[in-house]
Structure 1
Amino acid sequence: MHSHSPSPQDPVGDHIVRTDLTDMEIAVLDRRLPAWMECSKDKKKANFEAVCEELRALPYVTALNRNQWDSHKKEALTKYQREWTARAVVMRTKKAEITMLIQETKGAKPGEAEMISNYQWAVGQVMAKMTEEELEEAEKEAERWNNERPPLAVQADTALRKGKQYAREFASAMWKQCGMRVVILMAWQNEAERVVVSSHDFNTEVNGGRSFDHLKDIQKDWDQYAQESFGRDADAAAADTDSGVPHTGLPKCKTRLDPVELVTRGDGKPWVMDIKQVGLDLLKDLVRGYFTYHYRVACGIPNAAVPWGEVSRDQNKYLLPTYLPPNFKVGDPSKMHKKDAIILLDFWRSRQDEDEDSVLAFRRWRGMDGMLQEPVDVHSGDNRSRVAMKKKLMARRQDVLPEKTHQSAG
């Protein structure tokens, strides 16, 4: 708070309002207040816009006090952990009852928009029917979860729903803030106390990196470590699957497929597949792959990554509106909603039906110096880079196809 702003010690008599406004901003508002009070209703909007314009013209204040800095840091961090409340406990422990209430009263099914929009209402209805003792127990349960940890069923559910998201955000933050490449190995217990292992490699999504191809070389050691970490006998679990020892078949860590491969045909050309019954994760990968394919064609760099932040801030510099649905806002596909992904892919499929060679193209690409560059000229010698890039895409696709076929057969 600024030295001349009202404070609890100021002898101003009435209720004191705390504010983060600067002295200059307060002075502008004080000076403008009489005109605001006197102007007619039809002139309020113009008066308000004039005030805003004057406020925007004031010098920026970039210094943050300690409290503001701490708040800024907290908001910037991923919320991997939250404070459990009685309401949150009820949402987890009475999930089936809450879902059933919405189905019976609203006719909505899990995953539908109406189910989501009515969920908090249903939680309130369920809590309203709980006794005082039940609500008190929920409060105690929340305290236990905060001081110790949630029960295994809750942890397993969180790992299943949020594990991949947390891993992706961690990998992205490590690259952006530290310039680090990471591959993540994970292990947890599911609700049946079986040990589950998995791996995540997002390097192809983070600034055009390459996947780590040697996870299988450490898979056995990781599996054994995971079993022992949760008090399991790794040898016994592997040798005697009928012994009743909680154990699950441990999947082999796989090289993460470049999303570009998902949209590339055998002849090296891009193709948007039929997206009926396709889940959100695959939809995001298809969008990412299709954008990335055409961005690499534009710049002639086989492992280039789309600068999503720059494109989302000024997409018209990178893409002509004709290649996008009306009023469509481009952003990082990992943050897309399913509805937006379907709209975009359906739009591309309709253009593909008309002319598969004119579905999407980048008008600019971003060079290493941060400057926007013209696309590689297909009619000049620069076309060699583009042809080489397409050949590399096709070669990589041929390397991946046998592996995918083998996995499908298994």
Structure 2
Amino acid sequence: MARTGHSTNATSGRHRARQPQSQKLMDKEILGLKNYLPEWTAAKRSEKQGIFTAIARVARLFAPKVDQKQWKKRKQMYKTWLFNNKKKKERKDMIKYGRKWTPRMVVYQQKCEEVLKRIEDESGVKPGDPGMFKHYQAEVKRVMAELDDDELEKAKETAEEWSNNCPPLGIQAQVARKKGPAYMEHFSNEMWRQCGMRVFVMSAWKNEKGEVLFGMHDDNEALGDGEDEGLGGH
């Protein structure tokens, strides 16, 4: 029994010694990945696959010779490296779920049309014009200053309600349109990066007009082909 155990360990050791290059990335491969990391990180989801193809071609110049099956696994190693080596700040700042509402933000939402009309009447600037943002901030400040004590207290209560529960459906619809896809993409990426889990999202929501919309989100192509070890088809 002792000899058998010794023989098994020796065989395992020889196996590891024969294929060290196929088990980890070479220094020059990593250098190639590092050079492309900023571009890949900043790319839109629709652009990532094309950029990754270019990255893989460059990295392969420095990779050990492998067969097609091993190359698929190595490409997955490249993608895993790219996901794991995003700058921590970029991952942190990529998405922020939820919002802490303030009285000013509540007034910003509730009196939006009034503010826009004031700006157009006083300066001629219309929504979409380059100077709108500068005028809008100043006008919201003026509206806040005009609130009486009761209105200001109501704005504070509303801000607390929206922060602790949820904002009105109209605001939710705006967030769904502007940030929904980014939320789903971030969630899919993090589930893959942290759990090795693939996620496919089916969604339904109401837009600002009350119309029910349906959507599907599948970011798995950008995450890789799933040929790495541990992702069996069972």
Instruction: Mark the structure with the bigger radius of gyration.
Output: 1
Q: TM-score by structure 1 length?
A: 0.30
Choose between structure 1 and 2 for higher RCO, CA contacts under 8 A separated by at least 6 residues.
Answer: 2
